[in-house]
A and B are shown apart, each in its own frame.
Chain A
Amino acid sequence: MSLGLNEVYKSFGGNQVIDGVTLEIEDGKVTSLVGPNGAGKTTLFNLVTGFVAVDRGTIRFAGRNLGGLSPQAVKRHGLVRTFQNLRLFLDMTVLENVRVALESDLSMNFWSRRNLAQVEKVLRRVGLWEQRQKMAGELSYAERKFLSLARVLATGAPCLLLDEPAAGLDGPSLRLFHELIREFKNGGGTVLLIEHNLDIVRDVSDRIVFLDKGRIAAAGTPEEIFSNPVLGELYFGIRVAAATAGEAGNAAR
């Protein structure tokens, strides 16, 4: 089932954005992609999900080569993503936003009990069931974040690619986010996470991949990555290089 990238290259114009990335994402684990802005993290998501074609290299999931597949086909194979800027359907209700994620375009099953039960379960879990008839555009920022997460969780896809899902969350919202990721992982789900909040990265990740200028600068457990002074300097600057991992997280926010 695992997701793997082998010698993947991508350039835009003369700019080599992804430069020979080889990566194996373990099943049932949370792998975080970290690195400075412009490191190529979101481009990597776009390559995996079929929004951008690779120049060279292969991407495979569950034994299938994803090369040349459309985003719709990638989704059908069980890889679903969120977006940094959320991209909710703002003029649709909370309920519709989630329902549309697990229906096929031409289904004539208007009132699928199974779908509705799944939608209800997910919306209750993220705390949005009571607001199901609200337009997505009327939700607060934190609620929108959870709606975006609910939308992909409801699909039942085994692999989620989450682009900065916790940015802007705090307190109880962050705790809920932790719980949701942990539950998904405990259910056998795989997560590839882009996140700048390093406290979250440290808490939820099984493995961290440090991307810089389109290359993997380092990969390892959270302990290995956060104790690496060179990466600290690369990512957080000299101020944090000697600091603890927790302080590093705060500084990054």
Chain B
Amino acid sequence: MLPYLLNLAILLGIAVILAWSLNVLIGYAGIFSVMHAVFYGAGAYVAAQFALHVSADFMLSTLVAMVFTGALAFLVAVPVLRVREEYFVVAAIGFQMVASTVFITWEGATGGMGGLSGIPPAKVLGFELISPAAYLVLTLACAAVCLLALVALVRSPFGRALKALRDDETAAIALGKHPVKLRLIATTIGGAMAAIGGSLYAFYVSFVNPESFTLDYSVLLMAMVIIGGAGSLLGPVLGALFITVFPALLNFLQVPSSVLGPVQQIVYGMMIVLLMMFMPEGLVSAGKLLPGRRK
């Protein structure tokens, strides 16, 4: 049971980092990106290749992955951010499809469908991480760094400008804010932060292949942010918790194993529908529904 829980906690930690990184786009910049798994994947592949061919130092690999993925996010955002709202969503889906194909076919970089295996254990300050418990500590440390970075970002002039843009673009422009510049930087930051999740995943699983970075996963990440509550630091944590842990809890349902899968899917799907109906601002707004709390 303990290995199972440790595994779940590590995957949850990675999901929280990814949801936070996407929240920079959705929650603060108002960019509904459905291509975030691409940056997660790019980060994972770069960290894996770096570990396989240069060094398994976690911090160095992650830094390289962040730089590469941040640059990729910037380059993607330049053309994609020219289109707005629903058109952006469609353009992002298109980019995700292109990237998924690249992950599958560019065998030299990604190993194709077979993926990259044999990724060595991560080294942190000279220590090799072998046990899941060590990876959990590393994941928590990464999450703490991401949280601090996000707190600083949200409280910075840049963070306020982003939120202003999200709330009312016309008013933000009248006050001198530059939407394209701000959104480009937000996308770059979000992409670079997703690479941290990718790097953690690559080292922890020691194997990466395209199945982990599909459009489905991009949609799931978006669901984490929206279900939890976009634009807050706690929301993505709650969303990641719901999306990652709730299906795991459904494994304990007392139903015949032959129908467990469909029952899980139905219960899970219905929960999402009900949440969006009764808590459209996400799980983070649950406190407002308590008696005596301001709505």
Contact = CB atoms under 8 A, between A and B. Distances in A.
Highest count of chain A CB atoms <10 Å: which of B167, B171, B174, B185: B174
A16 B190 CA distance: 46
B175 A105 contact: no
Interface string A201-216: 0000000000000000
A103 B178 CA distance: 12
Contact of B167 (A92, A104, A107): A92
Nearest to B173: A71
A73 to B, nearest CB: 9
B157 A71 contact: no
B293 to A, nearest CB: 14
A83 B182 CA distance: 23
B174 A89 contact: no
Bin chain A's interface residue count.
20 to 34
Interface stretch (B158-166, B241-249, B266-274): B158-166
Given A91-B231, A92-B167, A96-B160, A105 B181 contact: yes
A109 B174 contact: no
B202 to A, nearest CB: 32
Nearest to A101: B175
A41 interface: no
A99 B157 CA distance: 8
A151 B177 CA distance: 14
A37 interface: no
Interface string B141-175: 00000000000100111101101101110111111
Interface in B163-207: 163-164, 166-168, 170-178, 181-182, 185
A76 interface: yes
Contacts of A90: 167-168
Given A89-B167, A91-B163, A105 B182 contact: yes
A167 interface: no
Contacts of B178: 72, 105
Highest count of chain B CB atoms <10 Å: which of A75, A89, A96, A100: A100
Interface in A76-111: 76, 80-81, 83, 87-92, 96, 99-101, 103-110
Contact of B161 (A100, A108, A110): A100
Contacts of B168: 87-90
B163 A92 contact: yes
A31 interface: no
A89 B167 CA distance: 5
A197 interface: no
A104 B231 contact: no
A96 B157 contact: no
A155 interface: yes
Nearest to A107: B157
B160 A103 contact: yes
Nearest to A81: B174
A108 B156 contact: yes
A105 B152 CA distance: 14
Given A91-B163, A100-B160, A110-B155, A72 B176 contact: yes
Interface of B: 152, 155-158, 160-161, 163-164, 166-168, 170-178, 181-182, 185, 231
4 A-B pairs with least C-beta separation: A87-B171, A103-B157, A89-B167, A75-B176
16 contacts: A49-B174, A71-B176, A76-B176, A87-B170, A88-B168, A89-B167, A89-B172, A91-B231, A92-B163, A100-B160, A100-B164, A100-B177, A105-B176, A107-B157, A110-B156, A110-B157
Given A80-B174, A104-B157, A105-B158, 4 more contacts: A72-B173, A91-B166, A105-B181, A151-B175
